[in-house]
Amino acid sequence: MPIIEPGGGRVFKRMNDMTVKVKSSDTNGTYEMCEEKCPPGFESRRHMHAKDFETFYMVSGSARWEVGDEVVEAVKGHTIHIPPNVPHKVKSDEGCEMICIFGPGQQEGQFEEMSNLTEEQQQDDALKKSILAKYNMVPLE
């Protein structure tokens, strides 16, 4: 059983910082756990996951979550659980920090592939959509 020290884990820098604390390989693919730090002004695209569950626990800051038809201004202590095929997005004006659990665990692969794109590849929407599709993520905007 791995013990992850504070500040430990594999960091993927994108629009936010996603640090993988528990890898999918640590759980036989059942889930993975990450720490997500969103800067002020962060906003995800509306999307859904075809086969995956996501659970987010707000550690600090605040964020506006749209999950299906529900909207919540989440603060420290809120838990947002998103089943497969439920459209969602998050926006944080002030920035926030969350603990994220993804099940089954496969999003680390998506984080890695998207983080490794060159600037030119980042402009290729077809390439990005193919990577997201490989990890059951469906962009809706």
CB environment 47-77: b (16+ within 10 A), e (fewer):
ebbeebebbbbbeebebebebeeeeeebeee
Domain ranges of the chain: 10-139
Whether pLDDT at 86 is above 90: yes
Residue 2 burial by CB count (10 A; 0-12/13-18/19+): exposed, middle or buried? exposed
Q: Which two tokens stand for residue 140?
A: 């809706």
Q: Which residue has the tokens 């820098």?
A: 13
CATH topology of domain 10-139: Jelly Rolls (2.60.120)
Whether pLDDT at 129 is above 60: yes
Whether pLDDT at 7 is above 70: yes
Q: Which of 8, 96, 12, 133 is nearest to 80 (CA)?
A: 96
Please report, for residues 10, 58, 121, 133, the alpha-carbon distance to residue 78 in angstroms, rounded to integers and kept in the order given: 25, 5, 36, 29
Highest mean pLDDT among 23-27, 34-38, 107-111: 34-38
